[in-house]
């Protein structure tokens, strides 16, 4: 038995997403600076994206200048992209929340994949990236702060 097919995203697709989103919700963000979710949230914030964290165990609160909410529905402003730092078995419910709040993109981190959730999100008009890290892709594609500057 073979595993799921490999995921391929064109550089143009990834670049377009990273250039058009402004507000990113990092679901599963950690207060521990040694955790990848903390590092990625802080990196994206330093590039100029507006970052909000979603972690019910830490909400309400903040990670420095990044506010923390218990869930996506509690965020009081629009979110362009939902970055999922949770296990694959949690991605479906988070993708459904992203659809409900009107996000434009669902991005599942390295090792996170849910083809059924991706199909639901795409059917609702969202763009989906799975098993990729926006920090890695931003750097690989030569991103800079002009990518997320307000238009």
pLDDT in tens, 119-129: 999 999 999 99
Closest by alpha carbon to 51, among 40, 41, 59?
Answer: 41
At residue 85, the pLDDT reads 96
Q: Could you give the CA distance from residue 59 to residue 88 in angstroms, rounded to a whole number?
A: 22
**What Rg do the C-alpha atoms of the chain give, in angstroms?**
14
Percent of the chain scored above 70 by pLDDT?
A: 94
For residues 118 and 98, is the Cβ–Cβ distance under 8 A?
Answer: no
Tally of CB atoms within 10 A around 81: 25
Please tell me the pTM assigned to this model: 0.92
* Beta pairing, strands 61-63 & 66-69: antiparallel
pLDDT at 7: 78
Give the residue from 77, 71, 52 showing the smallest Cα distance to 62. 52
- Spatial separation of the C-alpha atoms in residues 147 and 151, rounded to whole Å: 10
Task: Yes or no: say if 19 and 7 are a contact pair by the CB < 8 Å rule.
Answer: no
Structural domains in the chain, CATH included, are 21-142 (3.40.50.720)
Record the tokens describing residue 104, joined without a space. 């434009």
């Amino acid at each position: 038995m073979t595993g799921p097919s490999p995921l391929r995203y064109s550089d143009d697709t990834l670049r377009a997403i990273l250039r058009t989103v402004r507000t990113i919700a990092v679901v599963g963000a950690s207060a521990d600076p040694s955790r990848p979710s903390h590092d990625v949230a802080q990196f994206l914030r330093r590039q100029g994206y507006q970052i909000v964290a979603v972690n019910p165990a830490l909400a309400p609160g903040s990670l420095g200048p990044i506010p923390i909410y218990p869930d996506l529905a509690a965020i009081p402003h629009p979110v362009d992209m939902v970055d999922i730092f949770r296990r694959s078995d949690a991605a479906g419910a988070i993708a459904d929340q992203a659809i409900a709040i009107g996000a434009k993109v669902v991005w599942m981190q390295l090792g996170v994949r849910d083809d059924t959730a991706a199909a639901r999100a795409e059917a609702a008009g969202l763009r989906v990236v799975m098993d990729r890290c926006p920090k890695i892709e931003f750097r690989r594609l030569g991103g800079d702060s002009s990518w997320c500057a307000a238009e």
